[in-house]
Each structure stands twice: as structure tokens, then as C-alpha cells.
């Protein structure tokens, strides 16, 4: 049943998304691809919309996936499910386990989970970027137009990092790639 799947799927995301929105993206990708709810392409559109609208990105994605699969009830369930674990955990930390997070074994577990999450985020970004340039479906043939867009955007990000010493604003990056898309694919 779709409602139950949405609830369980997004509870899982809420329980394992250590480190905010970007940590949730690979988990949401796992869920939507394994249930066949969305393709990688549709997911990337949703990420762009979530980044360009206000509010927590994870909540935006949950609402979006929920609404596309199960209307308003689906959206409600997915949104509440993704927020629920965070709510309960903060409540527990405040009431019962103030010192729990400072315990050595807990620190050791978190110390290993964090680099793992960063690794998963890097791999997800790389495979999303590469899949548009040379996808498995296209027999790994290189899409020249996509390669041009990817090259320009990557160069812009690197130059921005060197000049400004910080990461580019997500909205600016999305606007730049949208313009490039209109230009390169429109011609």
C-alpha cells in the first residue's frame, strides 16, 4: 500500500539522515528508486525545486515525493514521517540522555558514521552528474551537450571556490545550470 510505503520509507530517511539535507538525498534516492516512484531525472528536478524554495530541503523533498505518489495524504504522511525521528530524538536528548551523546562508544560510532555519510554524498553527486553525461541506459555513450554543461558548471564552481574560498550558493548554481540548459539544448 502506497501510504504505508511512504510512511515507512520516510521514517527510515528521518532516522538515518545524519548531517542535514545533503545526507538525506542519497537515502531518499535509495527509497524512490527501489520503489520505482521516480527516475533519477525526476528526482534531480525535485532537488532543484527544493533547493530554490524556502524551508528545510528534506521536508520539501518528502512533501514532493509524497504528493506525487499519494496526493495530499501522501504528502502529509511523508512530511510528518521524515520529521518525526528528529523530534523524538531531541526530546529524548533533552529529557533523558543529556550525557548520552558524550559517551565514548557513541562518539566512536558517530566518528565513523560521519565520514561514511560524506562518502555517500560525494558518490551520489558524482553518479548523478555522470549519469547525465554518459548513462548506462545509453550504453555509456557520451552526451556531448551534457558534457559541455557539466564542464562549464564544474569550472564555475572551482573558480568560485578559489576566488571566494567558499562554496557557491545552491540557488545561483541552479540558475546558471538552467540558463546553460536552455542555451545548449535550445540550439
- Residues 31-70, interacting with other proteins (CB under 8 A): 34, 41, 44-45, 47-60, 63-64, 67-68
Residue 8 near other proteins by CB under 8 A? no
Which whole-number Å values give the CA distances from 108 to 3, 77, 115, 121, 187, in the listed order?
36, 34, 12, 21, 54
x/- track of binding to other proteins for residues 108-127 (CB under 8 A): xxxxxxxxxxxxxxxxxxxx
Which residue reads 524556502 in cell numbers? 54
Binder among 2, 83, 134, 135 for other proteins (CB under 8 A)? 83
Closest CA to 157 of 140, 180, 131: 180
Task: For the CB of residue 91, give the shortest distance to other proteins in the complex, in Å.
Answer: 6
Take residue 70 and report the three cell numbers written for it.
Answer: 499519494
Residue 150 near other proteins by CB under 8 A? yes
Residue 3 near other proteins by CB under 8 A? no
Give dist(CA 187, CA 181) in Å, integer: 10
Task: For the CB of residue 39, give the shortest distance to other proteins in the complex, in Å.
Answer: 10
Residue 186 near other proteins by CB under 8 A? yes
Task: For the CB of residue 24, give the shortest distance to other proteins in the complex, in Å.
Answer: 8
Q: Are 38 and 32 in contact, with CB atoms under 8 Å apart?
A: yes
Number of residues that bind other proteins (CB under 8 A): 107
Closest CA to 150 of 172, 187, 181: 181
Amino acid at each position: 500500500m502506497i501510504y504505508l510505503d511512504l510512511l515507512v520509507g520516510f521514517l527510515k530517511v528521518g532516522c538515518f539522515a545524519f548531517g542535514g539535507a545533503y545526507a538525506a538525498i542519497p537515502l531518499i534516492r535509495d527509497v524512490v528508486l527501489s520503489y520505482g516512484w521516480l527516475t533519477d531525472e525526476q528526482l534531480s528536478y525535485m532537488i532543484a525545486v527544493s533547493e530554490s524554495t524556502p524551508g528545510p530541503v528534506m521536508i520539501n523533498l518528502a512533501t514532493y515525493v509524497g504528493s506525487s505518489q499519494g496526493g495530499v495524504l501522501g504528502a502529509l504522511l511523508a512530511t510528518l514521517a521524515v520529521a518525526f525521528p528528529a523530534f523524538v530524538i531531541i526530546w529524548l536528548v533533552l529529557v533523558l540522555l543529556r550525557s548520552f551523546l558524550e559517551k565514548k562508544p557513541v562518539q566512536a560510532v558517530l566518528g565513523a558514521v560521519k565520514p561514511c555519510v560524506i562518502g555517500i554524498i560525494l558518490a551520489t553527486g558524482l553518479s548523478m552528474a555522470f549519469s547525465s553525461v554518459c548513462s548506462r541506459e545509453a550504453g555509456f555513450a557520451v552526451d556531448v551537450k551534457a558534457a559541455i554543461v557539466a564542464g562549464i558548471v564544474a569550472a564555475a564552481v572551482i573558480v568560485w571556490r578559489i576566488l571566494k574560498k567558499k562554496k557557491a550558493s545552491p540557488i545561483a548554481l541552479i540558475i546558471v545550470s538552467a540558463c546553460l540548459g536552455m542555451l545548449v539544448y535550445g540550439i
